[in-house]
Amino acid sequence: MLHLNRKTEYALLALEHMCLKEKEKARHINTREVAEIYHIPYPLLAKVMQELSRRGFLKSLYGVNGGYVLAKKASDITVADIAQIFEGPLAVAECFRDAKITCPQWNDCLIKDPFYELNRKLHELLVEMTIENLAMSNAS
Amino acid sequence: MLHLNRKTEYALLALEHMCLKEKEKARHINTREVAEIYHIPYPLLAKVMQELSRRGFLKSLYGVNGGYVLAKKASDITVADIAQIFEGPLAVAECFRDAKITCPQWNDCLIKDPFYELNRKLHELLVEMTIENLAMSNAS
DNA sequence: TCAATATAAGACTATAAAAGTCCTATATTA
DNA sequence: TAATATAGGACTTTTATAGTCTTATATTGA
Ligand code: SF4
Ligand code: SF4
């Protein structure tokens, strides 16, 4: 239960990899390299990278020696941001996700207030997890 | 993202309802009553109640005036327990769910340690949420 | 110049999980 | 003994996730 999906994981792996290797290699990092190291299906990771680029988290470069670099500081990218892109808004219950309430239980719901609190706390946890923090726990 | 499923919600609604109404009504509470109040499809809620009974959270009584009563103290039933029944073990990433590691990223995974911490903290939050606590926030 | 390389984008398929339905059996009571 | 309520299993529908395929575009370097 409460599973994050693979695209989110692939995105976080790629971003953290770039945070750790970017300066060391002093060049763009391409999708194939990341896919091979972490055994991620290339076409799927490519989609993920494109989405990150479209959303302004990566800057892309075409052609030979092309690839991506981080477009933001690693400390300004959170797991909450990335998960939101690939899985939509954080919502322990569906009534926190949609603006319009469609849940038939809503009027008499006994759990929505405590669940809203849970949602808030969980969001805090995800915001605390920045790419920089993730990278620090794996720095050699 | 990080959605709890409907069966879990239905189970929690039913349990909390029973916690609040059990003493007041001094009798068993049946599935139809709960289904009607909260607008839950009856056959689906029936399944949920049966599962809760099988797992020892409810005691059942057949026949006319039959129904269910709580088999444990409300303070001893947590959201973690109930969600576990209907959605399996808490696992932010799949490698925390299965004993045998099948994830191709595992060896080089840069995120599993921080994710494990997240998983632990999230579990704490769910264990703190007992049926009694839920009921208190809705007591009139 | 042109072949190789790498990103960009959209359509498509397959698989799995969630949600809901249907049917039949069994125990209890008024 | 008819009505009521739990028990259990099979089944269908719907939705979300995961992965694939194809084509187009920009850049580089030989
Ligand atoms: S109103 Fe209650 S039952 Fe409906 S989605 Fe929100 S928390 Fe769940
Ligand atoms: S090893 Fe890493 S990528 Fe694989 S499931 Fe665990 S956290 Fe996710």
The predicted-structure confidence for B54-94, as pLDDT tens digits, reads as follows 999 999 999 999 999 999 999 999 999 999 999 999 999 99
* pLDDT number for residue A18: 96
B116 lines ligand 2 (CB under 6 A): no
Min Cα–Cα distance to chain B from A65, Å? 24
The domain limits of chain B are 6-88+130-139
Dihedral sign (CA B113, B118, B121, B122): negative
Residue B139 forms contact with A (CB below 8 Å): no
Q: Return the residue matching tokens 């069966």.
A: B7
Confidence of residue B140 (pLDDT cuts 50, 70, 90): low
Q: Could you identify the residue whose CA is nearest to the C1' atom of nucleotide D19?
A: A44
pTM given for the model: 0.94
Q: Report the alpha-carbon distance of residue A88 to residue B135 in Å, rounded.
A: 30
List Cα–Cα distances, A9 to A17, A42, A83, B110, in angstroms: 12, 14, 8, 10
**Average pLDDT over chain B, rounded to whole?**
94
Q: Report the alpha-carbon distance of residue A127 to residue A114 in Å, rounded.
A: 20
Distance A15 CA to ligand 2 centre (A): 15
pLDDT at position B21 over 70: yes
Confidence of residue B30 (pLDDT cuts 50, 70, 90): very high
Sequence-distant (≥ 6) Cβ neighbours of residue A10 within 8 angstroms: A38, A40, A44, A45, A48
Fold annotation for A6-88+130-139: Arc Repressor Mutant, subunit A (1.10.10)
Q: How would DSSP label each residue in B105-138?
A: TGGG-SSHHHHHHHHHHHHHHHHH-BHHHHHHTT
Q: Do A111 and B16 touch (CB under 8 A)?
A: yes
Confidence of residue A140 (pLDDT cuts 50, 70, 90): low
Share of chain B above pLDDT 90, in %: 89
pLDDT at position A135 over 70: yes
pLDDT tens column, A64-99: 999 999 999 999 999 999 999 999 999 999 999 877
